[in-house]
Each structure stands twice: as structure tokens, then as C-alpha cells.
Amino acid sequence: MLADPRGTPISLARRAAGLLAVGFLVLGGAELGSRLDDWMFLGISPLANPDYDSDLRLSDDGFVRGRPNGRFKRWQLNEYGFNGAPNPLLPSPDCRRVIVLGASETFGAYESPGQEFVAELRRRLPDTPCFEVINGSIAGMSVRSATAYWNGWVERFRPDVALLYPNPLLSLYISDDSDGHCALPRPADKVTAPAAPNGFSSRFLDRLRDAIDKPQWLVDAQIQWTVARVVRAHAAGWVLEEVPPQCVASFRSEVEELIGAVAATGALPVVVTHAFRSEPHEKQTHLWLRRWVPRVEGEGQVRYHQAANDSLRSLAASSPVGLFDADAVLRGCDACFADPVHFSDEGAARLASALASFLVDLPRQGEHALQ
């Protein structure tokens, strides 16, 4: 009986090489198709390697701002680097200009295209009186970074109202020593805009990551592994149950500095409490918080967040600033959040509707706040 030539090592190697070649052709075609699709519908060169940081942000003289006409995936910045439609340098004479300052929550993250919180706010404000709304937010921007950003860039647009949406977690810097006291951020902790990345980055695989939702158990397992690795690198007792008490005072001091910078230009600062989902996904929220601050237990970080919001309420009650309580508006609305701090479409719409009513009534509230 003759041996089957298909079973020889050489024939098996040829078949494997053929399958590998087909695989490369399929992946290459998918990659080419993704790049052509981006070119045709988004205007992104097929030879470019898009990157969120370098395409949407740039470093200026001591601060970070949006890259003029920057574009990454669905985000399109205008000529001044703001996320939204074009706006003139100075406000229209008959309009009240409102600038929103915050991090990724107000810049836009998980909402559907065109349904970001600030875009929803623009649509919900009436034509009379006239409002101009500018989204001056930058993902990852802390309160300290926002002050430099305001002084170096935003104040030149002469807003009448500045909506300040500070994220307490981005102001949470804890020393790595045994005392675990609050500390000023290191240069590496500040918002930076890295140079454009080198090398090849697959847009097809990036689309797959965007399209495929990981099961929650896998997300939780990855965070647990990351946190455990960080904890193991430190001595026993490194993990704290509570955020050091002085951190709330430090956060409030940073907000007061930003308020002072805004008020010095004649704009009315309006402090917005930070909306936060804690229930019914309490365990997931605590784990999510540990991902960003591994040193403090999640329950302690939730209490810090609540205390930081209380400090904003107290600050507004004792200072000539406005207050919009976003935390109260969205409290208990689980469907309003895509994760513990970022809005869903429902959350963005609900918050924008409440804030639009607040802004229409702001002249009376503003006069009262300034007395």
C-alpha cells in the first residue's frame, strides 16, 4: 500500500504555511479596509497611527490644551482645540458665553456620538436668552492643571460663566511613605501630552477592542490582578482604609485657587458637585476605585468623594460663587452612568436638562451669590 503523501512532514508544513498565508491576507485586508474607511469617512490618512493623547492634546507654555482641529475616532476638536462646533474668539454681544471645565466626564467618554453632556446642554438651552456653550474640558485634567489652563488659554475667550466640574479623584495624591499623608503631585502626575507614537498600530484590532464588550467578571479579574501586583510590591500595612483627612482640605484649596483665577477675569464661577455611582454596584465601584488608587480601600475612597462634594457645597455657601449640585440630580440613577463617574446617554441628557434650567435662572442666582 502506498503512503499518503498528504501526511508527510513536508506536506503538513506546506499546508500550515498556506493557512498562515491566508490568515495574513485576511488580516491585511481587514487592516486595509479599516484604514480606507477612516480615510473616506473621517479624513484620517491611511499612513497615520491615530493616538488619543497626541491627536487631541498638546503641551503649551506650562499647561496642556486641546490640539487645534485635532481628531481621534469620533472626537473632532475645533480650531481652538475645544470639543465642539467652531466658536469665535470673543462672545457675541447679545449672548451669554458659558465655558465648561472638567475632565473626561464633561469632555465626553461613553456617550453616543453627538450626545455628550455638553452637546446635550447646548441643545437644551433656549434661543432666548442667547447662550454660547464651549466645552473646554480635557480628559485627565486635575483642578491644579485646570488653573494653569485657565490662566494660559481659556480666559482669553472671555466667558461670562465658568462651570467648574472638578473630579476629586484626580486631586488625590498620597505619599508612598508609612504615614501616607497627602502630597503635591509629582511632575509625572500632571496631565501631559506625549509625542506622537512611533511604530505600527493596528486600526482593525483597535476596532475589535471597541466593538467587543468584555464580560464584567473578566474586567474585575484584571483589575484585581493589577491591584494585587501593586500591593505585593509594598510592605505589609501599606494599604489604607481611609483617605488621609487632610486630602479633602487640599482638594478644597485647589478648587478655591481655580475659583480665584476665574473670578479675577470677571467671569462668574459655578462649582458643580461631582456625580458618582456607588449603588447598587457597590463592589464593582470599590474595585474600580482601587484600580486608580490602589493604596486606599474602595469604601474609603467613596467616603472621600462624598466628603469632597460636601466641601464644595460648604465652599459655595460661604463664597461668592454659584453651585449646581450634579451629585443630587443623578443620585440613585444607576442607568445614568456607564461606569462610576462617566455618563451614559440617559445621564448626560438628564444632567443637561437640569443644568439648562439652572443657567436660564442664573442671572438672579448670580446676583444673589455675588452679594
pLDDT tens-digit series, residues 94-110: 899 999 999 999 999 99
pLDDT at res. 189: 44
Q: Which residues fall within 8 angstroms of residue 164, CB to CB, at 6 or more apart?
A: 101, 102, 146, 255, 258, 259, 262, 269, 270, 271, 272
**Amino acid present at 110:** Y
Strand partners, 240: 296
pLDDT tens digits, the chain, 371 residues: what are they? 455 555 677 777 777 777 777 766 766 675 566 566 655 656 666 656 666 777 888 888 888 999 999 988 888 999 999 998 899 999 988 899 999 999 999 999 999 988 999 999 999 998 888 999 999 999 999 999 999 999 999 999 999 999 999 999 999 988 888 778 888 775 544 445 445 455 566 655 555 555 566 777 787 888 889 999 999 998 888 999 999 989 999 999 999 999 999 999 999 999 999 999 876 567 888 888 998 899 999 999 999 999 999 999 999 998 889 999 999 999 989 899 999 999 999 999 999 999 999 999 886 444 444 43
Query: At the top level of CATH, which class does the domain 52-203+231-370 belong to?
Result: alpha beta
What is the pTM assigned to this prediction?
A: 0.84
Cβ atoms of 179 and 46 within 8 Å: the answer is: no
Pairing of strands 57-59, 64-66: antiparallel
What cell was used for 322?
454659584
pLDDT at res. 31: 59
Q: Which residues fall within 8 angstroms of residue 213, CB to CB, at 6 or more apart?
A: none
Hunting for cell 495624591 — which residue is that?
173
